[in-house]
Amino acid sequence: MQRPIRWISLLLVGVLGGLAQTPLACAEAWPQRPVRIMAPFGPGSAGDVVARLFAEALTKRWKQPVFVEDRPGADGIIAVSAFVHAHDDHALLFSFPGPVTVLPVTKTNLPYDATRDLVPIASGADVFAGVATTRSLNVLSLNELVAMARSRPGALTYYGSMGALEIVFAGFVKEAGLEMTSVSYRDSMVAIEDLVQGRIHVAMGPLTNVLAQAQAEKVRLLAITNKNRSPLVPDVPTAIEAAHPELCIDTFLGFFGGRDTAPAVRDRIATDVESVAAQPAVAARVASFGLMAHSVTADEFAAALEEQRHQIAAVVQAIGLRSGQ
């Protein structure tokens, strides 16, 4: 009778050991050491500050240090490439969607596979964007802008912030049959200064770039390009409300994991990010930078990324933009 009892005891040990490795147990055990958040933002930028707000709050929840590594440049490629090739299960990427939704469509030979190497976890904040004009243009709506551009073919100039916003505005110009000249800038704030001075006529970019000038009545904000109005300028209509849905695109910041991120760990992180975003102190600080703390589930975040990727691909095809290196 000794052997059967011993065999059953060993079996129970094996079963209990297996239970310790269930996804729930793995999620509860993570993180086991410090976590780093890699981000494509410059120090002191809105994205950098939001990343650090989340890092500080997550440090308290996870009982492990969470710190931010800024790796700006190359439209996010530098940060994403470093993150993917780190193969670190205690690293997260906090980024705008461009490296996942825009670059795979507009560039070839990326040093990562956006659909395989990056696992969407949760959004962290909504970033509002808008279309603004120089005051001297004297237009009060998108429809008036379209009418003026048609009456003055080739005379109006515009700037679109690099990435999705630039592509979407080019699509708007194409769909409306307008002749407008695109002007490129290395520094978006130089573009806004030229908009104030009337050296360019239209700009589409983050709301935070033009908010102060709009409030000082140095530029005129015609529309918000997100699906929802911005609480910072609640009286400004969305592009959809202004009858130009082709200018609608949601911009946001969110968390990504590596390709081997376990579903249970992904969901646990998403739950914690959602809890942080809901904290009044965090929401207020994020709002002070013109953003809105907002988190959705991993599935909803993945769906939003996929929707934007399809949108960008359709516009790129419509305007005949060629893929670059």
* Residue range 251-295, pLDDT digits in tens: 999 999 999 999 999 999 999 999 999 999 999 999 988 899 999
User: What residues contact residue 247 under an 8 Å CB cut-off, 6+ apart?
Assistant: 131, 142, 168, 169, 172, 204, 223, 225, 239
Query: Residue 48's pLDDT is what?
Result: 94
Model confidence at 8: pLDDT above 50: no
265: DSSP letter: H
pLDDT mean over 134-154: 96
Average per-residue pLDDT for the chain: 91
> Is the peptide bond prior to 31 cis by the omega test (within 30 degrees of 0)?
yes
The 3-state secondary structure of 102-145, one letter per residue = CHHHHECCCCCCHHHHEEEEEEEEEECEEEEEEHHHCCCCHHHH
Element spanning 151, H or E: helix 142-151
pLDDT mean over 231-255: 96
pLDDT band of residue 117 (cuts 50, 70, 90) is very high
pLDDT band of residue 12 (cuts 50, 70, 90) is very low
Model confidence at 10: pLDDT above 50: no
Element spanning 98, H or E: helix 98-101
Residues 85-116 pLDDT 10s: 999 999 999 999 999 999 999 998 999 999 99
Query: Residue 26's pLDDT is what?
Result: 60
Query: Residue 289's pLDDT is what?
Result: 85
pLDDT band of residue 324 (cuts 50, 70, 90) is low
Structural domains of the chain, ranges and CATH numbers in brackets: 33-126+251-319 (3.40.190.150), 129-225 (3.40.190.10)
- What length does the chain have? 325
Percentage of residues in the chain having pLDDT higher than 70: 91
pLDDT band of residue 1 (cuts 50, 70, 90) is very low
Model confidence at 300: pLDDT above 80: yes
pLDDT mean over 137-148: 96
Are 122 and 269 in contact by the 8 Å Cβ rule? The answer is: yes
User: Which residue shows structure tokens 């194409």?
Assistant: 174
Residues 158-209 pLDDT 10s: 999 888 999 999 999 999 999 999 999 988 889 999 999 999 999 999 998 9
Query: Residue 187's pLDDT is what?
Result: 85
pLDDT mean over 288-311: 93
pTM for this one?
0.87
Closest-CA residue to 267 (of 92, 121, 124): 121
Query: Residue 19's pLDDT is what?
Result: 47
Query: Residue 319's pLDDT is what?
Result: 92
End-to-end, the C-alpha distance of the chain in Å comes to 72
Closest-CA residue to 70 (of 98, 99, 94): 94
- Quote the CA–CA distance of 96 and 128 in Å, as a whole number: 12
In a 10 Å sphere around its CB, with 0-12 CB exposed, 13-18 middle and 19+ buried, how is residue 6 labelled?
Answer: exposed
The torsion defined by the Cα of 298, 304, 307 and 313, in degrees rounded to 10, comes to -100
pLDDT band of residue 41 (cuts 50, 70, 90) is very high
